[in-house]
Chains A and B, each alone.
Chain A
Amino acid sequence: MEINCETIKHLAKLSDFDLDEKETEALTHDLQNIIKYISQLDELDTEGVEPTYQVFEMENVWRDDEVLRQDATREELLALTKEEKDHQIKVPRVL
């Protein structure tokens, strides 16, 4: 898998990150190394091996459908946001 500056810029755009040229280059280099490291796994023959999605071997962890009181109130949660208006979270205009 080829990682270049364009890959990083595309990923940054998807995640709404602002990166300058220097950061882009550094991240390209880092991600190239990470992918190379992980790619060692490709040497293994995994033919017929079930993919591992989780390591705890749990299944069907469900809860009952009952409303529970929450630890945090609406006001406390809204207070964590940068700006609020009319009990809503105010963000730059998006469309």
Chain B
Amino acid sequence: MKYIPTIGIECHVQLSTKTKLFSEVDNDARGKEPNSCVSPVDYALPGMLPRLNGEAIKFAIRAGKAMNCKINAHSRFDRKHYFYPDSPKGYQITQFYQPIIGAGHVELPSGTKIHIEHAHLEGDAGKLTHFDNYSLVDLNRVDTPLIEIVSMPDIHSAKDAHDYCKELWRLMCFAGVTNGDLYNGNMRFDVNTSIAPEGSDKLGTRTEVKNLNSFRSVERAVEYEIARQTKILEAGEKVVQQTLGWNDATGKTTAQRSKEEAKDYRYMPEPDLPPINLSKEFTEKEAAKLPPMPADYRKKFGNVISGDTLEVLLDYPALMKKLDEVCSEYVKSMSNLFASVLLAEEKSAEYLNDLPSAKDLNELCEMNEKKELSSTATKEVFLRLFDPQMKNRGAKNIAKELGLIQENDLGALEAIIDTVLQKPETKKAQEDYKNGEEKVIGFLVGQVMKESHGKANPSAVQEILRKKLK
């Protein structure tokens, strides 16, 4: 029997606000000592009250708009109770009843639309490290603002699950609401998978794989679950609804300790935080700050840049923004330089933080188009534009200083060619060419290049030579 998988994904995105969601403490704990970014509020000391970060509201509006979602005019916070050492309060502040972000959709590169059920703001938990007979708690991450994005069960293949997660990552990076550092868990995915016989109108029993932190592991975990569940059903047995963990090394899911049921969380309205009531003007003003999204770039550049190159570049918001700034006639050659030269560089990550000006890039493309720079020389000047020692001099000056400008001036070229043709050592080659030996043209071009100290444009030289030797 053929089974159709149905997948829904919950994604947690860490927001890159300066401070935490409920306290005025540094939200960027990267490279900092454990428990060094913690306040009495994070410790939940008696009498401490949460103080809502207004910037997180603005980030949520932008994130919601990036996913074509409705922004709810009224939202509020709730307490979700659970007892675990990663949460000193004994509960998580989240939005259970009235989330800030309503329904919307994300369009995958393939054109498939995945619907968003809702997304809400909440505080993250602390980090636990387990040892043989004790665990250590670092509260730096407590109440880092998160947006939890809940998709509809709209996904029907492991590949689409992968593409959806990747597109979400891009949307959040383009919207500028997260650092998007997957390695450090800035985005984490919980994946619900079930399978049902083709044509069935009922969904099968689902399992939830928690805490995946790469697109690849999402894809692999879904593939594994589809295969595992298919085997169970084909053996005439039943899939057990459970929470699973993913082991990247073994490529298998394993059962985790059973968590509480929803009612065990004893949700209640958070009494310490007044509701959020957004005016239409406020929401529209924030939404207007949303820069162009991947879908906008696909529309704009889809006919200019090859699909593969475009999808590679869409992983880098800074590059797309820069491409949008250069002259439209140079977008194609620039996109190739970005994809095949810049991203191939060892230091590309560093370079991305400080891209050359659009003026320099336009100048570079113009020189290349006018054949003042060969393609090799164009690449060289392009890379020099990232060199801290040279970049401020501008593309044109760099090309001149490096002696890379090709001689295109026909008069000057002809003079050089005439000099070469006068030389006795080229006489035989000239004779051979006239007698039909095509190949020797290469030798003559080489002589001219030598005479011009490499600055002549070889194709122009060849053309003139052919005319002269007719």
Contact = CB atoms under 8 A, between A and B. Distances in A.
Interface of A: 14-16, 53-54, 56, 58-68, 70-72, 74, 77-78, 80, 85-95
B306 interface: no
A74 B134 contact: no
Interface in B25-41: 25-26, 33-36, 38-40
B80 interface: no
Contact of B34 (A14, A56, A88, A94): A88
Given A66-B19, A89-B139, 18 more contacts: A59-B274, A60-B274, A61-B51, A61-B274, A62-B54, A63-B51, A65-B55, A67-B19, A67-B24, A70-B24, A74-B35, A77-B40, A89-B137, A91-B134, A91-B135, A92-B134, A93-B132, A95-B257
Interface string B136-171: 111100000000000000000000000000000000
A74 B38 contact: yes
Contacts of B52: 61-63
18 contacts: A14-B81, A14-B260, A53-B269, A59-B276, A65-B17, A65-B54, A67-B18, A67-B19, A74-B33, A74-B35, A74-B38, A77-B43, A87-B33, A88-B137, A90-B135, A91-B137, A93-B133, A94-B84
A74 B130 contact: no
Given A63-B54, A74-B38, A53 B130 contact: no
Contacts of A85: 134, 136
Contacts of A90: 134-137
A86 B56 CA distance: 32
Contacts of A68: 19, 24
Interface in B424-457: none
A92 B274 contact: no
B185 interface: no
Nearest to A17: B83
Interface in B101-136: 128-136
**Residues of B in contact with A, size category:** 35 or more
A27 B57 CA distance: 41
Contacts of B76: 53
Given A54-B271, A87-B35, A94-B84, A70 B133 contact: no
B295 interface: no
Contacts of A93: 130-135
B40 A71 contact: yes
A65 B43 contact: no
Contacts of A88: 34-35, 129, 136-138
B251 interface: no
B75 to A, nearest CB: 11
Interface in B57-112: 57, 76, 81-85, 90
A19 B232 CA distance: 41
B291 interface: no
B375 interface: no
Interface in B248-278: 257, 260, 264, 266, 269, 271, 273-277
A67 B43 contact: no
Contacts of B257: 95
B19 A14 contact: no
Contact of A61 (B82, B131, B260, B273): B273
B135 A92 contact: yes
Contacts of B130: 93-95
A17 to B, nearest CB: 9
B210 to A, nearest CB: 14
Contacts of B349: none
B83 A16 contact: yes
Contacts of A62: 52-54, 57
Contacts of B81: 14
Contacts of A60: 274-277
Given A89-B136, A89-B139, A91-B135, A66 B83 contact: no
A65 B18 contact: yes
A70 to B, nearest CB: 5
A67 B40 contact: no
B35 A66 contact: no
Contact of A94 (B18, B54, B85, B275): B85
B274 to A, nearest CB: 4
B390 interface: no
A42 to B, nearest CB: 18
Contacts of A71: 40
Nearest to A89: B137
Given A56-B274, A89-B136, A93-B132, A66 B24 contact: yes
Nearest to B128: A94
B43 A80 contact: yes
Contact of B136 (A54, A70, A86): A86
B45 interface: yes
B326 to A, nearest CB: 33
